[in-house]
Amino acid sequence: MKTLFSFPNPVNDYAARMVALFVVALALAFQITGNEYILIFLAYGFAARTLTGPSLSPIGQLVTRVLIPLLRIPNKPVAGPPKRFAQSIGLGFSIAALVTFYLGDSVVITRYLIGTLGLFASIEAFLGFCTGCYVFGWLMRFGIIPDSVCEDCKIDYPGA
């Protein structure tokens, strides 16, 4: 059970980008349809990936077990803790979108939240820049996240 609720370290960067591409597609699908089940699937996916990496995530399983081997995409290892942090931010956005959707106050707010999620997933998928990972690095630099969380992520800044 302990291995189930662990996040891989390192992570294949190409797999992470492919998962982000699926998030972009789902975000676009929600923007077009307004379908609540897409929101539920997004929130579940982010919860599963935050807690277990790809183990309980349908998209994570599809990407790691089928698409990566089928397309013969190489492994490009990157640190896992920043990716987990990024998934948790996605979880926060998707839960906030679910809450605003079901409160019914404004579907506009839900669409902005999912649009923001889609924007950052697009940056990851198409440009290879993980904004959550970038924030993670700064939180480590400021001492908010201890160095022990990710020794590989520690950056020694000159003059710091």
* Domains in the chain: boundaries: 11-130
Note whether 18 and 66 are within 8 A (CB).
Answer: no
Question: pLDDT below 70 — which residues of the chain?
Answer: 1-4, 105-106, 155-160
**Residues contacting 108, CB < 8 A, separation 6+:** none
- pLDDT confidence of residue 151: 83
Neighbours of 149 (CB within 10 A): 16
- How buried is 68 (Cβ within 10 angstroms: 0-12 exposed, 13-18 middle, 19+ buried)? middle
- pLDDT confidence of residue 152: 78
